[in-house]
Structure 1
Amino acid sequence: MEKVVVLGAGESGVGAAILAQQQGYDVFVSDKGQIASSYKDVLTKYEIEWEEGEHSTSRIFEANTVVKSPGIPDQITLIKELNAKGIEVISEIEFASRYTTASLVGITGSNGKTTTTALTHYILDQAGLNVGCAGNIGDSFAKSVALQDKEGYVLEVSSFQLDGITSFKPHIAVLTNITPDHLDRYDYKFENYIKAKFRIVENQTKDDYFIYDKDDKVITDYLKNNKIESTQLPFSLHEKVDEGAYLDNDTITITINNDKLIMSASALALKGNHNVKNAMAAATVAQLLKIRKATIRECLENFHGVEHRLESVLKINNVQYINDSKATNVNATYYALDAMKAPTIWIVGGVDKGNNYAELFALVNEKVKAIICLGVDNSKIVNAFGNCVDDIVETQSMKDAVNYAYKIAERNDNVLLSPACASFDLFKNYEERGRQFKEAVREL
């Protein structure tokens, strides 16, 4: 019996283990950290063998295939040893794609991919298609394939997941944008990260589609220098395109094979230019799949976004509290600050991923009246913005940060949590950070 070893027992690892067992493999799960009790319960229920707190190389090196969780870097010794032994190491999305005939929409990008994925799935689901939503959002792709395989999937895909593919091929690939992120995983070389993102199209043929942001110079420069097989459908806020999507005045026009969908940008439920782009990308997918135009328009007018992304929490004493915990890099926070229409108290900080804060200076000068740092080490933020605002304080807990914001906020101000950093110094993940913010606001 062929052996599959799964490294890492989070959402993707446990999903891969369930699928591997279902496909008749001898499965072993190994996690160097502690496995969450909820995932242990699942592994026990399926009678899948596991270990935690170590990687037993004697067992791991017996594998025919190793499925690696996205959080594990390729640079660690164990992965190098597996490569040297010629043992296949792949990601969970690669593994899952081998066991489904579903049509795939793959969405990646430094920012906007969660909103675009959720919105695309919402439109296709409302149109009555048998389509799942998985990957970096909700259930893992592998678990979905194992437990209730669908005719199609909308997948949010990270660069870490794309690093481990060989044959994974979405019929429609979407690249929302590329800005420096996760450089600590790519030898601090932006070009390595760019290549990782573009792996989403590497197995596509001329019968497949690539939807991308034509206003993003990083993407257009790459396309100038690298040939891509798939049919390209750009979207743009600034330039008219014959095929694809563009904005002119307030009108969005989407053209596929000379068939046009036209709607007003101000009718979108999601506000901000970045969301016009997310809507254009999602609507282009829907039009490619021949969804009724009335359905597409209705969905775009009704979809109010995802949790932890510019989420309005409460208004207290005429002060609006906004949860943007999902902003884990500078570019995401740029969009958030850009969308602020009132004086803003900005809660920022966490684990810095090699951030360059300079691109935020103009927006901070224009919109931010006070900065509340929330992190174990805030020195880089204090140094970056010390000259931009008079009021900059450091806090170590969400409760303290929110209480301080409440104390200094005046009528018609915004209080914005948009950290521009990862959350792992004080929180388990960005979701927990966002939930704590909302709880602290509700307790005011």
Structure 2
Amino acid sequence: MGHKRSSCADMWKDLPAELLNVIAQKFKYVDEITRFSAVCKSWNSAASELNNQLTSFLPHKYPWLLLAEDTGLDISACKVGGDDQTLPDPDLIIKNIPSTRGLFSLKTKKIYYLDLPQATNKVILGTNKGWLLTLGGDLEINLLHPLNRLQFPLPSMLTLPSQEEYHDDYFPQQASTKVITKVALSSQVPIKSALQNQGTCHLPIIMVICERGVLGCARLRDNCWKNVELEAGQRLFHDIVYHKKNFYAIDFRGGVHMCEIDDNDDRKETQSPKGKLITSIPIFKHYQVRSYMIEALSGSHIWVVLRFYIEKNSKEDIPGDFRYYTSNFLVLKLDVHHSDSNEVPSCTWVEDVRDLGNEALFIGRTSSTSIASSDCIKPNSIYFTDELWQWFWATGGGHDMGIFNVQTGEMQPHFSGISIHNFSPPLWYI
């Protein structure tokens, strides 16, 4: 019996390389390549050859929860609230930090570990295209692919627009943990073009929400960030999304702005991109609300999500007591209609949506994303991670996470462990 099993294994191992290559090219997700490459050396070689041929990396079938790095800091020992609140010693954040990061699988409910020294002690924000944006105390910003550790430099933090004035008591390294709060890409990163310096017109545009909520953008391989000039004046922004060849941003008052940036323009533009206010949420109350914009799976419209918080107001300093939590969500549908006769698109809203169909919305410190439901992703749900960064230094971020049922309003956890960090808590890796 053992001899038959061995013969069967040899048969699969000895499949011709040409056939293995044909099989490998049928894969749609990186998860399939990973399992394929683990079978044996010949299959691993076929997977490596496929990776070399790809113009961009394949997506993941399911989102992962990228856990915070283990700083060894006892969050429960930190008092929060009050005028004399005790903040964690920043020196504790940079000592004896392992380079290993955990990835929590929604499918298996297990944590898998990868060595990621490029992200150690850095702020991490997620795109929905397999890349992470990292920013550390060296003020360098990079796009990092965590599975193969390929990294592309972006313009320095010091070139971001509308930064606060630095002085002896407030220097750039202190601002690095809060200077960028959101990132979105216009397209996938074409690996060969990016590595071989083959022009810029096919490289993605990166848009970020910077300190004080302003918008900045750059194309991969640019030397500096550009400010997005807004017709309505400077606003504090919550989220950005790329939809139908334009970036859209939503501000803290519920205003939706369209940013016209030509993704195919290879010219070095001297003027800053323009943004115009095109509509506003019809039922917006901005107090203790955070707004998100997500392109629907069909690509036909934008889901707008309002996230409501409750802050615990207490005169007593209670060690380890988190002072906020998400209490509710409200979903709206936004249709943007472009026409050749009008520069400003017409917009229609559907309020209080209770049925997302087979979609699940993933929000947090990663580009907001819609994912099709599956055996491990619940339909008509919002999967959220902690994002109220203003409280992170005081209480640590990472406790305010869960799954919200849009129909019933019920909440449940998606991760039952503890992963807390003072400036870079868990986020979705998509």
TM, length-normalised to structure 1? 0.24
> Which structure has greater strand proportion?
2
TM, length-normalised to structure 2? 0.25
> Which structure has greater helix proportion?
1
